[in-house]
Amino acid sequence: MKTFLADIMAIFVGDAQADRIVPPTGFTARLTLFASGAMAFLAVFALALSLASGRLAQRWGQELAQSSTLRISAPVEQLAAQTAAALKVLETTPGVAEARALTAEEQRALLAPWFGPDLPVENLPIPQLISIEETSGGYDAAGLRLRLQAEVPGAILDDHTRWRKPLQQAASRLRLLGFVSIILIAAVTGTIITLAANAALAANARLIAVLRLVGAQDSYIAKAFVRRFTLRALSGAAVGTVVGLIAVLILPSAQDQGGFLTGLGFQGASWLWLVLLPILAAVVAFLATGAAARRTLSELR
């Protein structure tokens, strides 16, 4: 581990002479820069997606868990009485912070997206909804159901578990998908850099032979290549990350009805992830070039 860190340090401190010994290869250099930049750009989105869905899962979990709905389906003439009975039950239930019957206007507003604004709600046998706010401790859903069954036969308690579970599940799958994408992006970056390093090593076969003839050890030759590719990956990924971040920032800004997309951003400590992206690219390049160089060199005399 210590030598690993020392190797990493050596990459930044550098050896000006070793740097000049390997001739700069303009084309592969630009390709490596571009590839790591593009990969970092994609990684920013994968990261944003996975962080956003993480937050979404958490928010849904919390908000939906804190509220539930009681639906009362009863003949019109009994509806008012049953609603009053249900409210009384709820008021005496520990864990219920607030219970409130929705007004006709509110119910109409809920139905409007499906039936249009002109629906004569009063004339329809629609059930009465009671919204329940829980305290942080929550209430005993099974006990409440039993009590309601006894006193308000038309009441159906919906504590949102049915909705919450699949939503939360979808959100955490989405997060997993985001992380898998980042791992794949890292792997592809490694592949590209390995190919570029192999090309560079092959193109410099004569140079490597000369260095061997004058007494260079493998570690010296490898370092000259590893340093170059690591720095390229680092700077390319840094540029890609910044561009990706700008792209995320200029997404349409958050609106209440925006729902999912608006969450695509970075908050608080998640900014640190962005700093990690170029470093991750550099580490991948360091390992990939090192492995490629050792493999190539061990095949030479």
Partner 1 sequence: MIELDNIAYSYGGGELLSEVNLSIQPGDFYFLTGPSGAGKTTFMKLCYGELTPTSGQARLFGQDVRSMSRDDHAVTRRRIGVVHQDCQFLDHLPLADNVALPLAVSGRDDLENVSNLKELLGWVGLKERAKALPPELSGGERQRAALARAVIMSPDIILADEPTGNVDWEMSQRLLQLLLELNRMGKTVMIATHDMNLIRAAKSKVQARVLRIANRHVQLAGADL
195 interacts with partner 1 by CB under 8 A: no
How is residue 281 written in tokens?
Answer: 């690219």
Q: Is 197 within 8 Å of 292 (Cβ atoms)?
A: yes
20 interacts with partner 1 by CB under 8 A: yes
Q: Point out which span in 14-22, 40-48, 162-170, 262-270 binds partner 1 (CB under 8 A).
A: 14-22
Q: Is 170 within 8 Å of 83 (Cβ atoms)?
A: no
Q: Is 278 within 8 Å of 286 (Cβ atoms)?
A: no
216 interacts with partner 1 by CB under 8 A: yes
Q: Please report how close the Cβ of residue 220 comes to partner 1 at its closest, in angstroms.
A: 5
Distance CA 195, CA 14 (A): 23
Burial 77-116 (b: 16+ CB within 10 A, else e): eebeebbebbbebbeebeebeebebeeeeebbeeeeeeee
Determine which residue in the list 26, 75, 116, 215 makes contact with partner 1, applying CB under 8 A.
Answer: 215
Tell me whether residue 165 or residue 295 sits nearer to partner 1 (CB atom).
295
Beta bridge partners of 69: 131, 158
Burial of 166 (0-12, 13-18, 19+ CB in 10 A): exposed
Tell me whether residue 147 or residue 294 sits nearer to partner 1 (CB atom).
294
Residues in 91-150 that interact with partner 1 by CB under 8 A: none
Distance CA 204, CA 282 (A): 22
How is residue 220 written in tokens?
Answer: 């010296």
218 interacts with partner 1 by CB under 8 A: yes
Query: How many residues make contact with partner 1 (CB under 8 A)?
Result: 20
Distance CA 113, CA 111 (A): 6
Q: Is 68 within 8 Å of 134 (Cβ atoms)?
A: yes
Tell me whether residue 141 or residue 207 sits nearer to partner 1 (CB atom).
207
- Phi/psi of residue 72, nearest 5 degrees: -115, 115
Q: Point out which span in 137-145, 168-176, 204-212, 285-293 binds partner 1 (CB under 8 A).
A: 204-212
Residues in 220-249 that interact with partner 1 by CB under 8 A: 220
Q: Point out which span in 183-191, 193-201, 207-215, 231-239 binds partner 1 (CB under 8 A).
A: 207-215
Tell me whether residue 21 or residue 87 sits nearer to partner 1 (CB atom).
21
26 interacts with partner 1 by CB under 8 A: no
Tell me whether residue 209 or residue 275 sits nearer to partner 1 (CB atom).
209
Q: Please report how close the Cβ of residue 288 comes to partner 1 at its closest, in angstroms.
A: 22
Residues in 271-300 that interact with partner 1 by CB under 8 A: 297-298
SS3 217: coil
Determine which residue in the list 13, 150, 213, 250 makes contact with partner 1, applying CB under 8 A.
Answer: 213
Q: Please report how close the Cβ of residue 208 comes to partner 1 at its closest, in angstroms.
A: 11
- Please state the length of the chain: 301
Determine which residue in the list 180, 217, 271, 279 makes contact with partner 1, applying CB under 8 A.
Answer: 217
User: Which residue is associated with the tokens 């139905």?
Assistant: 111
Determine which residue in the list 21, 64, 79, 199 makes contact with partner 1, applying CB under 8 A.
Answer: 21
Q: Which stretches of the chain bind partner 1, using CB under 8 A? A: 17-18, 20-21, 23, 207, 209-218, 220, 297-298, 301
